[in-house]
Homo-oligomer: A and B are copies of this chain.
């Protein structure tokens, strides 16, 4: 902590935010420091080498990112529109960092809507038989567009391990339950059958194991015996959109560190 603070101070940087976390069990120290470069003595070209020189003696792992370099984002959706529409609205309103460069879906339904927001829409249908080909096509699409973050906005297709491995800690999924409760399909049906008094939503990074990835954000809402499965789904939609949007914002503000199968969120 001293070394990093000294490095910034010595080079006339201006720290605007700093967060630390010590994992005592693992003996690991985590830090996120945000600083202004207005009078910084090093150019962006010089920073990596200078950082490495400071960091290496301590065995630090580090990365640096500039807040004016917007990341390129893709959204994958299926039939349900609520998370997709919500994200479109937020980018339209200037609420989210990053730049939405494409939407892809296995359904044609949202072509017109997405087009209205001036974002390219790619309809990529899929059947069990064509899954590998469709995924290959999606990967090409994402690669050509230089996508750095993939958002699964209620995309109902299971992605292969090969797909997921191409975007480590860079695919955010929204699951419509309070994980680990009701993982897998039809969580609202399961929640109704169990008679829970709260439902939840969980935004997490996609990993090869379904619904097991590092959790970024969760929230719950109160329900009662009066709420049937469709009521749970309706109440849940508001949770899903808000939880997903918060997770996307945290990721694109570089506030999420993935560590093992957990996250550190410097909110």
Interface residues of A (CB under 8 A from B): 1-2, 5-6, 8-9, 15-22, 24-25, 80-82, 85-86, 89, 92-93, 95, 113, 116-117, 178-182, 194-198, 200, 214-220, 222, 224-226, 228, 234, 237-238, 242, 245, 261-265, 267
Contact = CB atoms under 8 A, between A and B. Distances in A.
A254 B263 CA distance: 27
Given A22-B16, A225-B21, A220 B195 contact: no
Contacts of A5: 1-2, 5-6
Contacts of A9: 1-2
> In the complex this chain forms, how many copies of it are found?
4
A185 B16 CA distance: 30
A214 B225 CA distance: 12
A93 B82 CA distance: 7
Nearest to A95: B234
Contacts of A2: 2, 5-6, 8-9
A17 B6 contact: no
B81 A85 contact: no
Contacts of A262: 194-195, 225
Contacts of A234: 95
Nearest to A82: B93
Nearest to A261: B195
Contacts of A194: 179-180, 215, 262
Given A1-B15, A85-B89, A116-B116, 16 more contacts: A1-B5, A2-B9, A5-B6, A15-B20, A21-B226, A80-B93, A85-B93, A95-B234, A95-B237, A178-B178, A178-B220, A196-B218, A198-B200, A224-B267, A225-B265, A238-B245
Contacts of A22: 15-17
28 contacts: A1-B9, A2-B5, A2-B9, A5-B5, A15-B20, A16-B24, A17-B20, A18-B18, A18-B20, A81-B92, A82-B89, A82-B93, A85-B93, A86-B89, A95-B234, A95-B237, A116-B116, A178-B198, A178-B220, A179-B196, A180-B181, A181-B181, A195-B215, A196-B215, A200-B220, A222-B222, A225-B263, A242-B242
